[in-house]
Amino acid sequence: WMAVAALLCLAVWGLTDVRWRGQFRADAPELHRTDFTVYTNAADVLLSGGDPYAVPGPRGWYYLYPPLFALLVSPLRHFDTQWQVVIWFAINVALAYGCLAEGRRLGVRLWKNCSGLGRVAEQPPAWVGIVAFLAVLLPLLDCLQRGQVGALILLALMVGLRLTLTTGNALQVGVGGALLALPVAIKVTPALPVLLYTVLLIAGRPRWQSAAALGGLFAGSTLFWFGIPGAVLGWNENLRLLARWRDTVAESETLVADRGINPLALSNQSLEVALFRVGEIAQHGFPPPLRAEQAGPAGVRLTPFPPRSAADWRAPISTVRIGLLVLLLAAAVCLGRAANFSGLAAAFGLGCAASLLISPISWGHHFVLLFPAGLLVPAWWLLRGWRRLAKLCSATLAALVLVHYIWMPLAGPWSVLGLGLTAWFVIVCVALVWAARRRHSTSTTRSASTA
């Protein structure tokens, strides 16, 4: 009955609040409060032969992804905007359920495959999945309400990880590799965990498994970047659009100003903005001073970065990013040294968390990518008997996200989520390196004593 009640509540929510957010009136554009129509508008422009990166959607936002996702949702462009968001909401509910089910399946598979690592229970404790779910519950609901793509990206990552890591069939491993390519083709941010995991897979798993995963990743990348868009739009047109996306989005130094993005919105918890906010508070006190506002598209008020921030903060931010990447690599090497399932999975989870810190823009709904970290890193500790560390790691991550959403007016200006996640990431990486090296030293000593 609980499942029926949950579905009923979601149906009511989708047909009321979510549908209301999809309405569009030319005389009141501020009533349009969904992000999904950006994608269907881009699909309409794309299939009409126009430039999807030059035409804003009904809300005034611009399409910022490669052509693939606009093509995937293009059938919905024929519906009224309100029904577009309702249909995508229903799809998103199914995707979100798939993420949770896949998390449980992956956890059980890892637990069964990692025997002899010091665990005390035959089944993974339920609290690991429950706390990991709580950590991403509000970002996931944010995705559902706003019509975002986080659930699709997370599901593809989770299924791809399970198929490439826990199956013994080369075809399934190849399919998993192809699925890992899908999130990168939709949104480039997941490239960090995917590339990190692929390198560890090649270095630590049997040759047939790494070859199948790499082949699937290459085939999927070819299909999603060139095959499907090229078949629909034409090969040359797809290449032109990819070049346009590269110039206007991927390599643009003026993306924030050109596309009407407000990086100082409280929802943005990237490390770059977190460090900037800390500097502003240190210089001017709390709350940080309001920036001169300018009228944005569709009447939206924007607060752009002050010009001096680009020069003042580029070097320290780059240094911190490099430091985080080095720390991630060190932890991943230690985790992947034993080439067991739990270590590779934990490294993948850390890569997902790091991608949120490295990215210059990390809205609240992007933090659904913390699900692998909240599930797989505590599992690594549990499988080795470190129950208290597992609980602390899991609970801290969930608390950071909940505090950000529940007390956003207070926590947002302090970048509690961005700075807290950075501290969590650094501490967890250092602890994992220490624990992995300690275990490796103990194993070496025992082997020498036996010999």
Determine the pLDDT at residue 31: 86
Which residue range(s) make up the domain with 248? 2-283+310-446
9 domain residue, yes or no: yes
The answer to whether 168 touches 208, Cβ cutoff 8 Å, is no
Determine the pLDDT at residue 308: 43
What secondary structure letter does DSSP report for 25?
A: -
Residue 117 has pLDDT above 70, yes or no: no
389 domain residue, yes or no: yes
Determine the pLDDT at residue 391: 95
Determine the pLDDT at residue 120: 52
Q: Is the dihedral of CA 346, 195, 355, 337 positive or negative?
A: positive
361 domain residue, yes or no: yes
Q: Could you tell me which residues come within 8 angstroms of residue 54 by beta carbon, excluding any fewer than 6 positions away?
A: none
Residues 42-70 have a mean pLDDT of 92
Cα-based distances in Å from 439 to 120, 272, 343, 384: 18, 35, 13, 9
CA 341 to chain centre: 21
Residue 404 has pLDDT above 70, yes or no: yes
Cα-based distances in Å from 47 to 43, 73, 211, 252: 6, 12, 37, 25
94-95-99 Cα angle (round to 5): 120
What is the DSSP annotation of 197-230?
HHHHHHHHS-HHHHHHHHHHHHHHHHIIIIIHHH
Determine the pLDDT at residue 111: 81
How many structural domains does the chain have?
Answer: 1
Q: How confident is the model at residue 118 (pLDDT cuts 50, 70, 90)?
A: low
Tens-digit pLDDT profile for residues 249-294: 888 777 776 677 777 788 999 988 888 887 777 776 666 655 434 4
Determine the pLDDT at residue 250: 85
Lowest mean pLDDT among 86-100, 102-116, 128-142, 294-308: 294-308
Residues 415-443 have a mean pLDDT of 86
Instruction: Find out whether the peptide bond into 316 is cis, omega within 30 degrees of 0.
Output: no
Amino acid identity, position 369: L
Determine the pLDDT at residue 14: 96
Tokens 């693939």 appear where?
68
Specify the higher pLDDT residue, 24 or 375. 375
Residue 298 has pLDDT above 80, yes or no: no
How far is the C-alpha of 316 from the C-alpha of 258, rounded, in Å?
Answer: 24
Lowest mean pLDDT among 151-155, 325-329, 357-361: 357-361
Tens-digit pLDDT profile for residues 374-399: 999 999 998 888 899 999 999 999 99
170 domain residue, yes or no: yes
299 domain residue, yes or no: no
Residue 175 has pLDDT above 70, yes or no: yes
State percent of the chain over pLDDT 70: 87
How far is the C-alpha of 171 from the C-alpha of 178, rounded, in Å?
Answer: 11
Amino acid identity, position 197: Y
For residue 231, how many other CB atoms are within 10 A of its CB? Answer: 12
What is the DSSP annotation of 385-423?
T-HHHHHHHHHHHHHHHHHHHHTHHHHTTTTHHHHHHHH
* Global pTM value: 0.91
Determine the pLDDT at residue 303: 44
293 domain residue, yes or no: no
Report which of 125, 165, 153 is spatially closest to residue 378, judged by C-alpha positions: 125
Tens-digit pLDDT profile for residues 137-163: 999 999 999 999 999 999 999 999 999
Q: Could you tell me which residues come within 8 angstroms of residue 146 by beta carbon, excluding any fewer than 6 positions away?
A: 34, 35, 36, 365
How far is the C-alpha of 36 from the C-alpha of 428, rounded, in Å?
Answer: 35
300 domain residue, yes or no: no
